[in-house]
Structure 1
């Protein structure tokens, strides 16, 4: 522990946000970097607890508590306080392959589980993590990781999101030849196409991809495995396959008028915005379908992070108005008794996009207990209205909650663009079916609990494709664990082959 009284002497500070009225006019990242000395004082607030929940990474009531990567947080906090930045970086990458991603987009379950949270504000763990990795890049400490040997084994990683990248990085470190397949034009998956540039600058993703290429990892883009590249060919050309395709099937809203023009899945909208950013440093071979909110009345249906990102992008594109619907109750300001520390706090939070909207329009764009009944269009088939009704949550005879409509609360909203941010139902099935891989009740790839191998020998899975829609930090962790299990399989396979060759010789 750097300073035994640090948590008493120093107040929590986080990076200052650029003013809303300025940042909505560009796509630059939201925060201003903190000074080194200020970060050292924040690191001094870490108490080096006897039982540090910050890096526990456990599930309590199906909610994560602490870091799923088991980051050695107290250790690198102490090193930062002592101004040993390179040592802090070396400690950080022991567990986290891509701190530049988690330091920007992770919701920081580590901070929610910080013991300081019991009586004061938590340690600014995410901010310290961000600065450690950026300091490492500035000083040239981050290098390609080329193994000194090669096993000669070839592994295909399908999907280049955070799970796929993490898996590929670890497999290369084990000495295998790794090829990553990506159906879009540029690698990165969710990091590239799903997260807006102001939260994760695409130059940061590009920086890591280029480093991985220098390490010898091959990327094959514009290839949708199972469609452009037969599954059988995949099995024939590679010694092992790891499926990291994510949850590509967005949840739809099957109500009257759904087929009208101007209604999109949130992922389509965000992908369109990110492709414009990507066009600055890659030349697209395809026509980019632009979905713009400029001058439009926008309705976002869904109250999660994806819905929030749609609000932020709509503001930057110059929308006329934007409203975000959430069917659930408004969360409380403080933890309820049935949601104690160190559980994930189910409380009301105000994210960057809500702050921006409130500064421009004087209120929160989110409305709770709103159910969408139908869409109405004009003579040309374009959406022009969204009809809603307010609901209250009741229990049926079995105790299950359901939304009951409140009479007299019907309302009609002007709408030129509707974005559906309702979560995801699971991965696409065509590749899974071609490989004869089993799925679970939620249509995700099925593996044994705590395992990443499927029912088909040599085929593994990781990330959202295996566990369902989740956090980037879970995806990175799963990629690492799947790579470890895949490596053990390949080593065992290699030993068995050598044994058979020896027997034949005898």
Structure 2
């Protein structure tokens, strides 16, 4: 690369972040990019790898290793080091339709597979990626790309999350006429309503969507296929249909007392807060407000962390997040060897913020909620828990053993359930007559076509809940296969 000894001379530098006590007073993004000079230095840390693993994009034991969309990371790191930002942007857009999304919300499996990360902090790939795209917009290097001609063939994309948007973008650039249908009132799917504003400001999504509109894509909002328009009508109007409806059926908590008032699914909470913020800056009173309340989040993942960060901004009295697994190790273990994701303990943004307010990390590990107790009015007042031990059984599988004597009662007026997603909501696949297996739309990875000719599926709806980069990868792949399918229909 540009400076072969850079990885020995420079240390990793984090993206600038507002102090936790400051940023919790705002719903704006809490991080800003480094100076151009600092980013060039970070680009210089990229090693002259014989085989760069950062963009291999495979799954190992069910988790991503390297970048699933095969971003040519060493090339744009080198260009940033040399100060060739526009050329770096061109390289970035070769593989990634929406770097402004991935540069903000992707957990960066590329960094887990960075060769430098074997014994040093990895190259700051995610920070560099975000800076390239943001600089591109600031300098007006990103302008509408209007297709020179149209094929006369029409494609409907159902769902406007990252998979649907990527598919629409690719097909539009190939000259097909694309219409995206979205049942919500704004474009973006979980990017819009599932990820809080402080991680991804919605102006960032709107900016890209406006660009896609200028390029010729039509967006039809507040429209639910199967209800407002039948599946049969859609199939009759379009030459191909792509289902990118996500895997948004949330997993419910099924324990004693879970029906109490004040117990909500996490995505309902996050969606309501974001929508109220965007609609009226909370003046409409439509968001769940936990100000002055004790909050428990059940589920140890990223969605739960976003609930924690949202609650602390609403000035809750206390907030804790329950997870069933033990605390992750501080360093990579033999169970997660390079180039796998290291899966180590991190103090992410939400936990930093709560620690600054409450004095401790809000996460509770190896904890099981046994029941929820309501007051005389039916509103949740407390949770009863017990600690567990994770044990490796003789059969090679782990199981959890409850530890008598560790019972505890937690005060709570709100409980948010963030224990994952069961899969696709089945009403729309049933309307199209497509097969659903294991709560996923059955579509071949070879061509993404369902059992119904001309109807395709991609993203979380096909593969299950996953990362934004996998969604973009699937959106690009289904677009290529739909284009091939449409070519067979040309007379």
TM-score, length of structure 1 as denominator length: 0.95
Partner of 2:235: 235
1:477 aligns with 2:470: no
Alignment correspondent of 1:271: 271
Which secondary structure state, in structure 2, belongs to the residue aligned with residue 64 of structure 1?
strand
Out of 307, 311, 315, which is 2:308 matched to?
311
Which residues of structure 1 form unaligned runs of 5+? 499-506
Q: Deviations over 1:291-342 (max 9, x none)?
A: 1111110000011000000000000011010010001111111122122100
1:358-416 deviations in whole A, cap 9, x for unaligned? Answer: 11111110000111111111111111111111111235564432222111111111111
| Deviation string, structure 1 residues 105-125 (Cα, Å, up to 9, x no partner) | 111111110000112111111
2:396, 2:56 → 1: CA distance?
Answer: 33
The answer to whether 1:389 aligns with 2:380 is no
Q: Distance in 2 between matches of 1:25 and 1:490?
A: 51
Tell me the equivalent position of 1:447.
Answer: 443
- What RMSD in Å do the two structures reach over aligned CA positions? 1.5
Local SS of the residue matching 1:187: coil
Which residue in the other structure is 1:64 paired with? 64
Three-state SS of the structure 2 residue aligned to 1:247 is coil
Equivalent residue for 1:348, pick from 345, 349, 366: 345
Q: State the shift of 1:280 in Å.
A: 5.4
| Match status 1:320 vs 2:322 | no
Give 1:228 deviation, angstroms. Answer: 2.2
Deviates more, 1:387-396 or 1:327-336: 387-396
1:230-379, aligned counterparts within 5 Å?
A: 230-279=230-279, 289-379=286-376
Unmatched 5+ residue regions in structure 2?
none
Q: Look up the match of 2:464.
A: 468
Q: Which secondary structure state, in structure 2, belongs to the residue aligned with residue 390 of structure 1?
A: strand
Mapped partners of 1:39, 1:399: distance in 2: 46
Q: How many residues align structurally?
A: 491
Where in structure 2 are the equivalents of 1:4-403 lying within 5 Å? Answer: 4-279=4-279, 289-395=286-392, 398-403=395-400
Name the counterpart of 1:501: none
Question: 1:416-454 CA distances to partner (integer Å, 9 max, x unpaired)?
Answer: 1100000100011011112111122x2101122443111
Alpha-carbon shift at residue 180 of structure 1 (Å): 0.6
**Distance in structure 2 (CA, Å) of the matches to 1:364 and 1:226:** 45
| Alignment check: 8 A CA contact 1:272 1:288 kept | no
Other structure's SS at 2:16 match: coil
Aligned counterpart, 1:503: none
SS of the equivalent of 1:376 reads strand
- 2:67, 2:110 within 8 Å by CA — same for their partners in 1? yes
Distance in 2 between residues matched to 1:433 and 1:148, nearest whole Å: 38
| TM-score, length-scaled by structure 2 | 0.98
3-state SS of paired residue (1:338): coil
Matched position secondary structure for 1:94: helix
Counterpart of 2:414 in structure 1 is 417
For residues 173 and 31 of structure 1, the distance between their equivalents in structure 2, rounded to whole angstroms, comes to 33
Q: Is the 8 A contact 1:202 1:277 kept in 2?
A: no
CA distance in 1, matches of 2:73, 2:67: 9
Query: Per the alignment, in what secondary structure is the counterpart of residue 269 of structure 1?
Result: helix
1:271-302 Cα deviation digits (max 9, x unpaired): 01111232159x99xx8732111111000001
**Aligned counterpart in structure 2 of residue 490 of structure 1, from 467, 483, 486:** 486
